[in-house]
């Protein structure tokens, strides 16, 4: 199980990911944003390190606690990722979650 890369996540914007939050009770999270972050000094042309952020939304009002969850999507397959609740979107009122890669 490997983590998808920045280019793969870019192809998944507006896709639904099934997140295993409780035993046999997956929650649907929609990937709404993939943003590049500033490059760190550890990145070099011979050893590039992708720095990016993902934002997911859910219509479930109660926030999941920050932790590692198992994600599944037809494009990415299964992978584990740490997400943090960042509160509801001011317009859509859907609960948002963020994952940062650096």
pLDDT of residue 33: 95
pLDDT digits (tens, 9 = 90+) for 57-102: 999 888 999 999 999 999 999 999 999 999 999 998 999 999 998 7
pTM: 0.85
pLDDT digits (tens, 9 = 90+) for 29-60: 999 999 886 665 554 555 556 789 999 999 98
pLDDT of residue 40: 54
Distances in Å between the alpha carbon of 67 and those of 8, 16, 28, 90? 22, 19, 16, 24
Q: Is residue 81 part of a domain?
A: yes
pLDDT of residue 101: 87
Q: Is residue 1 part of a domain?
A: no
The count of other CB atoms within 10 Å of the CB of residue 54 is 23
Q: Is residue 66 part of a domain?
A: yes
pLDDT of residue 8: 93
| Residue 44, domain extent | 6-101
């Amino acid at each position: 199980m490997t983590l998808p890369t920045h280019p793969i996540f870019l192809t998944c914007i507006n896709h639904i990911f099934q997140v295993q939050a409780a035993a046999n009770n997956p929650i649907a999270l929609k990937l709404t944003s993939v943003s590049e972050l500033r490059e760190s000094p550890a990145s070099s042309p011979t050893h590039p390190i992708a720095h990016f952020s993902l934002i997911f939304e859910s219509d479930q009002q109660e926030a999941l606690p920050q932790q590692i969850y198992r994600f599944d999507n037809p494009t990415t397959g299964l992978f584990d990722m740490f997400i943090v609740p960042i509160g509801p979107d001011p317009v859509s009122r859907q609960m948002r979650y963020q994952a940062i890669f650096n």
